[in-house]
Structure 1
Amino acid sequence: MTTFREIGILPETAEALEAVGITHPFPIQEMTLPVALSGSDVIGQAKTGTGKTLGFGLPILERVTVPADIEAGRATPEQLTDTPQALVVVPTRELCQQVTNDLLTAGKVRNVRVTAIYGGRAYEPQVEALRKGVDVIVGTPGRLLDLAGQRKLDLSAVRALVLDEADEMLDLGFLPDVERIIQLLPAKRQTMLFSATMPGQVISLARRYMSQPTHIRAAMPDDEGQTVAATRQFVFRAHSMDKPELVARILQARGRGLAMIFCRTKRTAADIADQLARRGFASGAVHGDLGQGAREQALRAFRNGKVDVLVCTDVAARGIDVENVTHVVNYQSPEDEKTYLHRIGRTGRAGRTGTAVTLVDWDDIPRWKLINKALDLAFDDPEETYSTSAHLYEQLDIPEGTTGVLPRAERTRAGLGAEEIEDLGETGGRGRRGGRSAPAEQAERPRRTRPERSRRRTRGGEPVGDAAPAGEPAAPAEGGAPDHGEAGAESATAARTPRRRRRTRASAPAHQDGASGTAAQPETAAPHGADAGDSAPGEAKPRRRRRTRGGSASRSAPSSES
């Protein structure tokens, strides 16, 4: 078999790959590298899980100039620069991390500086990395355009551009943003486009921005159809209320390693992850309602083996390469055939075998028939299956007597809580934890007490005598005498003392005298020397003023003298 050294990559790059056990290229790599290393534009098409990342990653690492090249005599000091020399555009944050890690591994010996630029993280660390200098950037379209618009990202020295998973960028509506990014690049550059499928709009994009590209389509000799032959596929018709129990038994099949469960909606993914955790499985979730820190925490725990079941939406169906993923379960039928291919492509990668199980609800049968026909599969009429069906145990090699709860003796994983969540300084969005704006929100909460003070100084929309600021004489109510001396000071003191319960009852007695004589009796006896004729016309106001302690005394005095 051909080795990477025989293909002609740099010795330092081959040494870095050999250090992690990578010595022989896959078909897409073997066919792409000679063309890409020569500087020609390339369109690479291969099934998911066949090694497209190194197919474009090694050529762009060869095109950047680093200090190690000067020491080896391959470049001059004038060719060194701190601005990015290569750019990889990807559709999702998880794929951005995956590609960044692969490029860091391959460029470790040469010390190539690779930086991931994507949303959900704070701007400052990314801007600081760009200021210090970077050789290769891997980023998502939105954050790349954002930093370029702020003049924090200079793309004028980019020599190589890669569009990875271009069909997914088309589905997510990123192609206009990709075109804006391309217009910021030099006209003379190498452009490579890699994807598992090539829709018409992606081909049109390649024709507009690529110069005489070589279209390379690679596949294994014994691999027929669009799915990977190393992945066993099972499709069952299942009831939605029985699916959690059914999945719990599938996860106890013999020989199961790591497993990924795909759902169409974020709510379903969160619910299934919680249900599996209650059943004893070490599960984590990745979906759009989680903050970026929580998503990365779940992926790290999954890669480290602390969690062996990852429940996710299609955000994790692209490019996520985790070793020893033996089972993929489609809890809900995918939207189309492309989504199905990428979901089941998380297992059976790099020559390994895997198992893909799809659970089709009765309502999803029409959608599944379209997928089955498009991929030319043999599951047009899925067999009706329940968690107790004998053929389920037989086909998936589930031990007899298995229940929907994992035995305590098998609960050996540390769980999601054992993986610390990283404070990324997340920018907005739901599920933010420890974001930059959280302390500011907490700091402004005490200011909300000011409107409460202003509400205490009014009653029923009418001004109250104690509404004046402390230390100033209270303004008289309409038709009343002004407060002076001790009465004014007493009113100011009352303004500072909240007596909200007594004041809310004050408006009722004026209208209840006829019905409740006992309630009105203490109030009518309060004026000194006033008879009923004097107090009746102004009965409501003196009562309300007396409850402020100061205003009532000053206003009732003239009435008694008359």
Structure 2
Amino acid sequence: MTLPVALSGSDVIGQAKTGTGKTLGFGLPILERVTVPADVEAGRAAPEKLTDAPQALIVVPTRELCQQVTNDLLTAGKARNVRVLAIYGGRAYEPQVEALKKGVDVVVGTPGRLLDLAGQRKLDLSHIRVLVLDEADEMLDLGFLPDVERIITMLPPKRQTMLFSATMPGAVISLARRYMSQPTHINATSPDDEGTTVKNTAQYVYRAHNMDKPEMVSRILQAEGRGLAMIFCRTKRTAADIAEQLEKRGFASGAVHGDLGQGAREQALRAFRNGKVDVLVCTDVAARGIDVEGVTHVINYQSPEDEKTYLHRIGRTGRAGAKGTAITLVDWDDIPRWQLINKALDLKFPDPPETYSTSPHLYEELGIPAGTKGVLPRAERTRAGLRAEEIEDLGETGGRGRKSAPAAPAPREERAPRTPRQRRRTRGGSTLDESAVTVPAPAEGPTDEDTPEARTPRRRRRTRAAAPEAVAEAAVTVVETPAAEAEPAPAPAAESAAEAKPRRRRTRTAAAKPAVAQAPAAEPVVDFQTVAVAAQTAEPVATKPRRRTRVVKPADEVDFQIAPVSEPAPQTRARRSTRSAAKPKAEAVAATTTVEDAAETKPRRRRPRAAAEKAETAVVTVTADGEAAPAKPRRRRSRAAAAAETAEG
């Protein structure tokens, strides 16, 4: 019915039951309409109509269907030498691109890969004369409608469009109205067919428990007269699990689902067609258009989603006039779904009988021999199995293909010597720099000469209980001078004070020791000298605890490390002293050597009257001649400090 309408160039909507030959219904008109060199030689076509670009495009939803349609068209077009190319995902791009460069007449492909090659300008769609959408409703269900519309917009507006499917929902009809011009709707049915299913297919529906289903399937597969069998599952995980269980029970089984690479999927289909595998467990990806000779049994391990899926599943058997058996196992939870399918297709199984692997009616209806168990006897294991079919290396994309064998390890004598990992000592998560400045320990305490220089001792904190007797407190004045004006001023007091070490914290009764932090030579020269003169203390305290060195990191700016005072003098609060410690402090005078006028230093904060008797410091500026010049007086001084300064002057 389709051939005369399609050969005339009119748009066609073809609808027929599964297994009635839809592929050649659109394939033969395409093979006749394309222009090949034989037509030019016979004078049926002009030479300018010859082109290496594809002249016909067939869009299919699945890779397996794409490969099957390509093989059918190659067989039918052998006499005219028509070049047919399959383009689908899961394979390498390069062979497909090379075939397009050599020239092709008919392209059969899936929407994703067609869009990829068209977007890369590898596929030229400007010469397409015929467009065919096979299994159009399945492409709508899989979400291919936007991709199909994009492909249609790339085609010439003047073309022939044909849609073919076993079921035609409303969305397909609306698609036809949008992109087709006055289509002819052909619905082919046989006079003796009743309903929507093929009459040659015997249907059985059983209510089965999920845990008993593997045993039931194993016994059904041992029925008399069984040839090839296909088992459909709803999920990929279930399909993989059932294929593995059947293999353990002795059946030659293979699996086809979306988690497998394209090479493994084609390997299973080839083994199934060649007879090496007689049980194919698959998802609905293989329910469309797959035509394998000799399929006698189709088992729905899980209930289908809707009536269309059910029709396409059982359509794998009873094809081209052959007889088949369709068995559906419905779980208790799927009874409502099955009742909807039964009503939509007008079947006679509204309430399936409860059935187990030992039920007598199961053996009687399906012809299972009495005494059959769930394991295939060894005498009947005659199939070669899936491993007998070699897997083809397709250069799969996505990293799911066959992995190459790992390279052999090199001999021991040829291996490169292993370099040990270098470790760097850190303190507090930061790496110790070689250019860090180390402040030496004070001269009056125990020295660190017996300690290795590379070893940095752990920093400790002093507590109040460990504080020695009080010593005189010295004030520190910091003045920075540019490098051009700074000159070294050697002094014995400064050299003795350079060995002082900064302290982290001090108690109220503990006196601070002077410290000097040397800056890097590249930075401006800054001298910090703190001289403490005790009136009554002539010798250093022998019981002073051991000092620890401190590492100072070099920075872009000079980092001043002042041990006695953690912050500059203007930012620290004045400390209170007891009356007993006030007398020795009043007699102590600190001389600080600076390189600028002491007037530039910030004044101290105001102190209470209780600290009036505390020792004050005198800032002395060293001139180039080595003589000390009197410093400018502070803004606020106590009477005792003024009298001491007058006497000193």
What's the TM-score bracket when you normalise by the shorter of the two chains?
0.7 to 0.9
Corresponding residue number in structure 2 for 1:526 = none
| Structure 1 residues 157 and 392: CA distance shift in structure 2, 3 A | same
Corresponding residue number in structure 2 for 1:304 = 274
Q: Identify the match of residue 110 of structure 2 among 110, 134, 140.
A: 140
More helix by share: 1
Residue 45 in structure 1 maps to residue 15 in structure 2: yes
1:23-72: CA deviation from partner (whole Å, max 9, x where unpaired)? xxxxxxxx000111111111100011111000000001111111222333
Corresponding residue number in structure 2 for 1:475 = 434
Contact persistence 1:463–1:477 (CA under 8 A): no
| Structure 1 residues 227 and 453: CA distance shift in structure 2, 3 A | farther
Corresponding residue number in structure 2 for 1:242 = 212
| Structure 1 residues 453 and 400: CA distance shift in structure 2, 3 A | same
Offset of residue 290 of structure 1: 0.7
Identity %: 82
Q: Identify the match of residue 429 of structure 2 among 441, 454, 462.
A: 462
| Structure 1 residues 309 and 536: CA distance shift in structure 2, 3 A | farther
Offset of residue 461 of structure 1: 5.4
Residue 356 in structure 1 maps to residue 326 in structure 2: yes
Corresponding residue number in structure 2 for 1:339 = 309
| Structure 1 residues 462 and 356: CA distance shift in structure 2, 3 A | same
Partner Cα separation in structure 1 for residue 429 and residue 161 of structure 2: 74
Corresponding residue number in structure 1 for 2:202 = 232
Offset of residue 337 of structure 1: 0.3
Corresponding residue number in structure 1 for 2:244 = 274
| Structure 1 residues 236 and 69: CA distance shift in structure 2, 3 A | same
| Structure 1 residues 459 and 366: CA distance shift in structure 2, 3 A | farther
Structure 2: which 5+ runs fail to align?
A: 407-419, 441-451, 459-542, 552-649
- Alignment-mate amino acid for residue 271 of structure 1: D
1:484-518: CA deviation from partner (whole Å, max 9, x where unpaired)? xxx99x99xxxxxxxxxxxxxx99xxxxxxxxxxx
Offset of residue 217 of structure 1: 0.4
- Alignment-mate amino acid for residue 408 of structure 1: R
Offset of residue 334 of structure 1: 0.3
Corresponding residue number in structure 2 for 1:154 = 124
Offset of residue 458 of structure 1: 5.6
Residue pairs, 1:51-90, within 5 angstroms: 51-90=21-60
Q: Identify the match of residue 399 of structure 1 among 366, 369, 374.
A: 369
Offset of residue 146 of structure 1: 1.2
SS in 2 for 1:211: coil
Partner Cα separation in structure 2 for residue 538 and residue 226 of structure 1: 96
- Alignment-mate amino acid for residue 274 of structure 2: N
Residue pairs, 1:97-112, within 5 angstroms: 97-112=67-82
Contact persistence 1:426–1:434 (CA under 8 A): no
Partner Cα separation in structure 2 for residue 534 and residue 91 of structure 1: 90
Partner Cα separation in structure 2 for residue 140 and residue 461 of structure 1: 60
Which structure is richer in relative contact order (CA contacts within 8 A, separation 6 or more)? 1
Q: Identify the match of residue 336 of structure 2 among 362, 366, 375.
A: 366
1:255-308: CA deviation from partner (whole Å, max 9, x where unpaired)? 111100000000000000000000011111011111111111111111111111
- Alignment-mate amino acid for residue 80 of structure 1: L
Partner Cα separation in structure 2 for residue 534 and residue 291 of structure 1: 78
Residue pairs, 1:95-244, within 5 angstroms: 95-244=65-214
Partner Cα separation in structure 2 for residue 135 and residue 298 of structure 1: 29
| Structure 1 residues 464 and 83: CA distance shift in structure 2, 3 A | same
1:453-509: CA deviation from partner (whole Å, max 9, x where unpaired)? 58x4365753456xxxxxxxx82677489xxxxx99x99xxxxxxxxxxxxxx99xx
Residue pairs, 1:254-265, within 5 angstroms: 254-265=224-235
Partner Cα separation in structure 1 for residue 107 and residue 35 of structure 2: 14
Partner Cα separation in structure 1 for residue 425 and residue 61 of structure 2: 57
Residue pairs, 1:507-546, within 5 angstroms: none
Q: Identify the match of residue 432 of structure 1 among 401, 425, 444.
A: 401
| Structure 1 residues 536 and 224: CA distance shift in structure 2, 3 A | farther
Residue 93 in structure 1 maps to residue 52 in structure 2: no
Partner Cα separation in structure 2 for residue 420 and residue 461 of structure 1: 61
- Alignment-mate amino acid for residue 34 of structure 2: V
| Structure 1 residues 475 and 352: CA distance shift in structure 2, 3 A | same
Partner Cα separation in structure 2 for residue 169 and residue 266 of structure 1: 19
Partner Cα separation in structure 1 for residue 196 and residue 73 of structure 2: 28
Structure 1 vs Structure 2 CA RMSD: 2.7
1:58-98: CA deviation from partner (whole Å, max 9, x where unpaired)? 00111111122233332232221100000001111111111
How high is the TM-score relative to the length of structure 1?
0.75
Offset of residue 364 of structure 1: 0.5
- Alignment-mate amino acid for residue 475 of structure 1: E
Offset of residue 210 of structure 1: 1.1
Q: Which has the larger radius of gyration?
A: 2
Q: How many residues align?
A: 443
Partner Cα separation in structure 2 for residue 127 and residue 353 of structure 1: 42
| Structure 1 residues 50 and 480: CA distance shift in structure 2, 3 A | farther
- Alignment-mate amino acid for residue 240 of structure 2: A
- Alignment-mate amino acid for residue 145 of structure 1: L
- Alignment-mate amino acid for residue 429 of structure 2: E
- Alignment-mate amino acid for residue 153 of structure 2: Q
Partner Cα separation in structure 2 for residue 411 and residue 113 of structure 1: 42
Partner Cα separation in structure 2 for residue 159 and residue 402 of structure 1: 58
- Alignment-mate amino acid for residue 462 of structure 1: G
Partner Cα separation in structure 2 for residue 36 and residue 247 of structure 1: 44
Partner Cα separation in structure 1 for residue 545 and residue 39 of structure 2: 103
SS in 2 for 1:274: helix
SS in 1 for 2:348: coil
Corresponding residue number in structure 2 for 1:522 = none
SS in 2 for 1:328: strand
Corresponding residue number in structure 1 for 2:354 = 384
Partner Cα separation in structure 2 for residue 480 and residue 92 of structure 1: 78
Structure 1: which 5+ runs fail to align?
A: 1-30, 440-451, 466-473, 482-486, 492-505, 508-532, 542-562
